[in-house]
Amino acid sequence: MAKLDFHSSQRGRRQRRAQSLWNRRARWGIFLQPRDEKRQVNFGIHKGQPAWQDVPGEYRSILRRIIVTQGDTEPASVEQQKMLGLSCPSLYDLRNIFQVNVEEGRHLWAMVYLLHRYFGRDGREEAESLLARRSGDTDNPRILGAFNEPTPDWLAFYMFTFFTDRDGKFQLCALAESGFDPLARTCRFMLTEEAHHMFVGESGVSRIIQRTCEVMKENKVDAPSDVRALGVIDLQTIQRYLNFHYSVTLDLYGSDVSSNAANYYTSGLKGRFRETKLEDDHTLRDAMYPVSEVVGDKINTKQVPALTALNERLRDDYIEEIQAGVDRWQRVIDEAGIPFRLTLPHKGFHREIGNFAGHFISTTGEILTEEQWRSHEFEWLPSPKDYSYVQSLMSGRVAELGKFANWIAPPVKGVNGKPLDFQYVRFN
């Protein structure tokens, strides 16, 4: 089994605990942010009460549901990614995916701790079910759609950690505001690790773009077939992967208008992104929020009570952050002087949940018939041919010290001050 190098790590104690998993002497710590004795419920009808240290009886079943739904995503991503070590582009990348997977496993553990500690027998049963479900299993799948999609290659992995781990961040931020203090403290801890997952994703895609641009410039080619002939991933395929991962991740936020979301908020269980930094009444009694809907062949915006639009609001906060990341990828292309624009597709493109579900919307926001949409499907989303091309580049692992696969540029620097040719993983 491969071992991680965690020596001289900046986050040494936490990471050495992760290493113990690999040693199969796993004593997983429970990771909570320290308790703030003065903390209060900061929003909803219980605003101003001391934060709850125990589960309020009337919210027991919804709280359990929230924790189970969050917990279910954690092992799902490990299941989705577990074969990728066999095709890693370098030891550096292999080390990073191990760290991501260990930490997701620990996030599951943190949620299971809450279920066991605070929810008695039904909590233990829910925890068992978390172990029984499997990503993509037709009989017993994971709860949320994006977590049943395969992650078949490293481009998909980096896209997933950029787009879908960032959904994780926003959900955790909303739960870190919870009036149920043990949940808030656990989520605060998990958030410290999510940042690294998103770094792995953003820098991974960025390095692929950089390598593609270098090869395009050196060889003066721009047609996708010529780019592919040189063994790198054409920018058009990167755009299609982006469209796919963005759209399936947008669905994770749920319906645009949701009475559940309103209930979670009103009862003080799930807040908004940066709730305590927002300057309003934190009850949203009279506030309104815009949501989109499809009327005939048009997309209209209408104002709805902000309480019911909390999913949409969290999705909008997410989109803002995603756009900034895509702009950073664009800079790599611009600096290479290549005239290509990476864009986020329209919010309604390829959606299965919310007001856009059931409609056929183009990447630029036109409402199409199903037939029209299908005729463009593989201009917008990766085709089976795209996947097999990308996977053909990743047929084996690159495990020599300091070597990187041809389709990806080396990172700017190694991990924890180590050089790029450091032995990040040992094979015993």
Q: Which residues bind Fe ion (CB under 5 A)?
A: 74, 104, 107, 165, 168, 194, 197
Task: Please write down the HEC assignment for all residues of 349-369.
Answer: CCCCCCCCCCCEECCCCCEEC
* CB-nearer residue toward Fe ion: 168 or 179: 168
Task: Please count the other Cβ atoms lying within 10 Å of the Cβ belonging to residue 3.
Answer: 13
Least distance from Fe ion to the Cβ atom of residue 147, Å: 11
| Angle in degrees, 0-180, between the axes of helices 91-118 and 60-81, rounded to the nearest 10 | 160
Least distance from Fe ion to the Cβ atom of residue 178, Å: 16
Least distance from Fe ion to the Cβ atom of residue 165, Å: 4
Task: Please count the other Cβ atoms lying within 10 Å of the Cβ belonging to residue 41.
Answer: 25
Determine the Cα angle at 370 with ends 138 and 365, to 5°: 105
* CB-nearer residue toward Fe ion: 102 or 309: 102
Whether 366 and 384 have beta carbons less than 8 Å apart is answered as no
Instruction: Give the β-pairing of 2-4 and 288-295.
Output: unpaired
* Residue 277 CB-half CA count within 13 A: 5
Distance CA 278, CA 316 (A): 15
Least distance from Fe ion to the Cβ atom of residue 122, Å: 23
* CB-nearer residue toward Fe ion: 161 or 210: 161
| Angle in degrees, 0-180, between the axes of helices 235-251 and 181-219, rounded to the nearest 10 | 160
* CB-nearer residue toward Fe ion: 115 or 227: 115
* CB-nearer residue toward Fe ion: 74 or 312: 74
427 three-state secondary structure = strand
Least distance from Fe ion to the Cβ atom of residue 187, Å: 10
Whether 71 and 130 have beta carbons less than 8 Å apart is answered as yes
* CB-nearer residue toward Fe ion: 185 or 228: 185
Q: How far is CA 408 from the centre of its chain?
A: 21
* CB-nearer residue toward Fe ion: 64 or 107: 107
Least distance from Fe ion to the Cβ atom of residue 204, Å: 14
Distance CA 14, CA 20 (A): 10
Whether 294 and 359 have beta carbons less than 8 Å apart is answered as yes
Least distance from Fe ion to the Cβ atom of residue 197, Å: 4
Distance CA 114, CA 71 (A): 10
* CB-nearer residue toward Fe ion: 161 or 292: 161
